[in-house]
Amino acid sequence: MKGNISVNTENIFPIIKKSLYSNQEVFLRELVSNAVDASQKIRALANMGQFSKELGELFIDVKIDHDAKTLTIMDRGLGMTADEINKYINQVAFSGATEFMETYKDKLKEETMIGAFGLGFYSAFMVASKVTIDSLSYQDEAQPAFWSCDGSTEFEISEGTRTERGTTITLHISEDAEEYLQESRINEILQKYCLFLPVPIHFGTETRKEGEGDEAVEITEPVIINQTKPIWSQKPSELTDEDYLNFYEVLFPFHEKPLFWIHLNVDFPFNLTGVLYFPKFKADFDPNKNKIRLFSNQVFITDSVEEIVPDFMRLLHGVIDSPDIPLNVSRSFLQTDGNVKKITAHITKKISDKLAELFKNDRAGFEEKWADLDLFVKYGMLTEEKFSEKAKDFFLVKDQDGKLYDWTAYENLISANQTDKDGNKIVLYFANRDQQTAAIEQAIARSYSILELGHAIDPHWIGNLEQKLEKVRFKRIDSEPIDKIIGKDEVIPSLIGEEEAKTVKEKVEKLLEEDKSLVVKTEACGLDVHPITITMNEFMRRMHDMEALGGKSMFGNMPMMHDVVINTAHPLIKKIMEMPEENQNESWKYLVDVAKLSQGMLRGKELNQFIQHALNKI
Ligand code: ADP
Ligand code: MG
């Protein structure tokens, strides 16, 4: 047997009304969108020569009547006859917008429709106990029609009162939704969703004086709340830098000027326009800030774009408009929607192309902006494989003198002096110039180049880069004694014997007994390495840093382990060994303190004791 599933309207209707939208306020977006569609349709019909009477000024009027407790949305669009109300309104989920687009798809120019599902109108019942439609169609000899419904499945149609073409939707606001009778609330919703709709929206009036003295007359005019031609809907070739900057100001008042921007404009394989600005990325960027607004045919949809825009892109500011991202949809739908993936891929490409172009055509400008781009590019490389592939050609690194290099140039620079015995290029870096001064100076003395990589993102970024680059290792400047850091084959003779070395080690260990995070070692290093140096294994430190940024914990709450390296090739070690036994300890302590001091690890009581000790020497 075959059959049709039947839906009982009385049961399903309340579900449609209540749960179609998670957000009640969008009812106004839906009704104004319908008014925009109606206006666009009559404009389109006029353009196609199918409507030859006076078009007049097209606008939408939103009004509150406090006495009647109503909110009305009035348009001068194409209107509806009683038959059409029956067809479009009484048949839930039949979209007139879709039908219109289908009918005229070859003839439409720039008019696009917002509606798609034929459900938006019913969102009015989320806030209204009764809704009426008063409409006069543009068609010759059309009669005004009136429709009224209290939210049940029953409706009434009778003769309407409109004398001018268009539609008036009146919402009798329910008692539990009285906020929608407040000017400020309605204004807020209009500002949020309707700011860039293509038809002027009037809400409230403004009075101004014209003329001087006795001649002066007061003129009252409606306030237009929207900008009908936002820049993303215009051609890039017709826009100046100032237009872009002004628009940024409209979107994000009181923000610092953006660095530059990309104008998105694609028709294929989907329709998408938008403008994304690169802000100056501050050291403490917050990728959770919602600074990208998503529109569909100039109607605001959301500014929480997590599922639609990849993480790193959310550092950008601006707007994306795609009619392919439908209005009334749930987040999970968006995630699985193939269009969204394509959109993401497209924007990623646009961004990397823009950066590559700047890098190529304006290297000086690119370098100037690098400080502000650095984080964005690194974040992008970490989170988007496609972006990373492109970015490896244009990311820059900065050496101890502030000089910038692209990666190819930098690898060349260090290849002669900083290749270890296994053929790995060792990239040295520091995170904190003040704390790592001693090691930096030692490296400079050996003509090594050192990069500044001090941001919390850097440990992640270099880990990621090491996986992509061949035979390149990053080592922080204090991860090993300077003459061991490049890992050459040379052997440095120790000045003391093995037995003596063991004795020194034990003495220093005894001294540091209390501190379980210090591991004492002996090693014959060059003369430029202090008698005692404190280092921290690169791998351990990186793990630690990544944990600090919220990565996974590999060591639980283990303290940061440091190596205390005794340089057995240093004459001072030998000298202390030759001192009378009872004087030695003070010197060992002194050397350990100096080592701690140069690592910024000497603090509090210990530091104070050291200072006293130093003063007593004078
Ligand atoms: P959609 O906009 O997705 O088509 P709606 O439920 O919002 O669905 O509206 C259903 C239909 O009712 C519209 O497609 C349109 O044909 C008609 N309609 C709604 N509002 C108006 C209006 N203000 N003027 C003319 N027609 C309207
Ligand atoms: Mg609609």
In this prediction, residue 238 carries a pLDDT of 94
Using 50, 70 and 90 to split pLDDT, how confident is the model at 546? confident
Ligand 1 in reach of 121 Cβ (< 6 A): yes
Distance between CA 256 and CA 412 in Å, rounded? Answer: 37
Predicted pLDDT at 18: 62
Q: Are strands 404-406 and 396-398 parallel, antiparallel or unpaired?
A: antiparallel
Query: pLDDT grade, residue 117 (50/70/90)?
Result: low
Position in ligand 1 atom list of the atom nearest CA 119: 6
Classified by CATH at the fold level, domain 2-206 comes out as Heat Shock Protein 90 (3.30.565)
Q: How many CA atoms lie within 13 A of 278 on its CB side?
A: 20
The confidence score (pLDDT) of residue 21 equals 67
**Distance in Å, CA 113 to ligand 1 centroid:** 10
Q: Which of 86-95, 116-125, 485-494, 545-554 has the lowest mean pLDDT?
A: 545-554
pLDDT at 10 over 80: no
Amino acid at 540: M
**Residue 26's pLDDT band (boundaries 50, 70, 90)?**
confident
Mean pLDDT value of segment 329-346? 63
Q: Which atom of ligand 1 is nearest to the CA of 121?
A: 6
List the structure tokens of 285: 């960027």
The confidence band for 551, taking pLDDT boundaries of 50, 70 and 90, is: low
Poorest-pLDDT segment among 6-20, 430-444, 479-493, 571-585: 6-20
pLDDT, residue 435, reads 85
DSSP conformation letters of 590-602: HHHHHHHHHTT--
- Closest C-alpha to ligand 1, atom 12: 88
Residue with the bigger pLDDT between 230 and 601: it is 230
CB neighbours of residue 510 within 10 Å: 11
Which are the contacts of 291, defined by CB distance < 8 A and separation ≥ 6? 252, 279, 303, 314, 316, 317, 318
Report the pLDDT value the prediction gives residue 24, as an integer from 0 to 100: 85
Helix (H, G, I), strand (E, B) or coil at 435: coil
Q: Find out whether the beta carbon of 144 lies less than 6 Å from any atom of ligand 1.
A: no
Q: Which of 17, 28, 34 to mutate to test the pocket of ligand 1 (most atoms within 8 A of CB)?
A: 34
The two three-digit tokens of residue 98, written as one number? 């879709």
Range list for CATH 1.20.120.790 in the chain: 498-535+557-616
Average pLDDT for 372-378: 89
Find the mean pLDDT for residues 141-145: 96
pLDDT at 566: 96
345 alpha carbon – ligand 2 mean position (Å)? 29
Specify the CATH class of 395-485 in words: alpha beta
Quote the mean pLDDT of the chain.
88
pLDDT value of position 344: 76
**pTM to 2 decimal places:** 0.76
From the CA of 40, the nearest ligand is 1
Residue to substitute in 21, 37, 62 for testing ligand 1 pocket (most ligand atoms within 8 angstroms of CB): 37
Query: Does 96 contact ligand 1 (Cβ within 6 A)?
Result: yes
Q: Which of 88, 146, 169 to mutate to test the pocket of ligand 1 (most atoms within 8 A of CB)?
A: 88
Residue spans in the chain of domains classed CATH 3.30.230.80: 231-370
First to last CA, the chain: 107
Q: What is the mean pLDDT of residues 521-542?
A: 91
Q: Tens of pLDDT along 72-96? A: 999 999 999 999 999 898 876 667 7
Ligand number, closest to the Cα atom of 61: 1
**What pLDDT shows up at residue 75?**
98
What integer pLDDT is reported at residue 271 of this predicted model? 80
- DSSP H stretches of helix in 437-567: 437-445, 458-468, 498-511, 538-548
Predicted local distance difference test score (pLDDT) of residue 527: 87
Ligand 1 centroid to residue 120 C-alpha, Å: 8
What number is the average pLDDT over the span 432-450? Answer: 92
* pLDDT (mean) for 368-386: 90
Ligand nearest to the CA of residue 98, numbered in listed order: 1
How high is the pLDDT of residue 309?
74
Query: What is the pLDDT at residue 111?
Result: 63
User: Using 50, 70 and 90 to split pLDDT, how confident is the model at 523?
Assistant: very high
CB of 80 within 6 A of ligand 1: the answer is: yes
What is the distance between the alpha carbons of residues 107 and 515, in angstroms, rounded to a whole number? 81
Which ligand is in closest contact with the Cα of 162?
1
- How far, in Å, from the CA of 37 to the mean position of ligand 2? 8
Residue 322 has pLDDT above 80, yes or no: yes
Specify the domain boundaries for CATH 3.40.50.11260 within the chain. 395-485
Q: Of 68-82, 203-217, 512-526, 584-598, which has the strongest mean pLDDT? A: 68-82
Among 143, 31, 167, 51, residue whose Cα is nearest residue 104? 51
pLDDT tens-digit series, residues 448-466: 999 999 888 898 999 999 9
Question: What is the spatial distance between Cα 377 and Cα 587, in angstroms, rounded to a whole number?
Answer: 49
Query: Which residue CA neighbors atom 16 of ligand 1 most closely?
Result: 96
Q: Does residue 116 have its Cβ closer than 6 Å to ligand 1?
A: yes
Q: Which CATH number fits domain 498-535+557-616: 1.20.120.790, 3.40.50.1580, 3.40.50.300, 3.60.15.10?
A: 1.20.120.790
pLDDT beyond 60 at 220: yes
Q: For residues 199-217, b (16+ Cβ closer than 10 Å) or e, as one string?
A: bbbbbeeeeeeeeeeeeee
Cβ of 117 below 6 Å from ligand 1: yes
Point out the ligand nearest to the CA of residue 80: 1
- Give the H/E segment covering residue 318: strand 317-321
Q: Measured in angstroms, how far is the CA atom of residue 36 from the centroid of ligand 1?
A: 10
Overall average pLDDT of the 208-220 stretch: 87
What spacing in Å lies between the alpha carbon of 96 and ligand 1's midpoint?
Answer: 6
Choice among 147-151, 283-287, 491-495, 585-589 with the minimum mean pLDDT: 283-287
Residue 54, pLDDT score: 93
State whether the beta carbon of 138 lies less than 6 angstroms from ligand 1: no
Gap from CA of 291 to ligand 2 centroid (Å): 26
Whole-number pLDDT of residue 413: 97
Regarding the beta carbon of 88 and ligand 1, being less than 6 Å apart is answered yes
CA-based angle 243:323:229, to the nearest 5?
25
361 vs 147: CA distance, rounded Å: 63
Please, are residues 585 and 511 in contact by the beta-carbon 8 Å criterion?
yes
Position 46 scores a pLDDT of 95
Ligand 1 centre to CA of 366 (Å) is 49
Cα atoms found within 13 Å of the Cα of residue 46, Cβ hemisphere only: 17
Domain boundaries for CATH 3.30.565.10 within the chain: 2-206
166 lines ligand 1 (CB under 6 A): no
Looking at per-residue pLDDT, the higher value among 604 and 327 belongs to 604
Residue 336, pLDDT > 60, answer no
Distance 613 CA to ligand 1 centre (A): 86
The residue with greater pLDDT, 77 or 552, is: 77
pLDDT of residue 471: 94
The model's pLDDT over 556-583, given as tens digits with 9 standing for 90+, comes to: 566 788 999 999 999 999 999 999 988 8
Tokens encoding 169: 């939707």
For residues 263-275, give the mean pLDDT: 82
Which of these, 382, 552, 393, lies nearest to 466 by C-alpha position? 382
At residue 118 the predicted structure's pLDDT band, cuts being 50, 70 and 90, is low
Q: Is CATH 3.20.20.220 what the domain over 231-370 is classified as, yes or no?
A: no
At 339, the pLDDT band (50, 70, 90 cuts) reads low
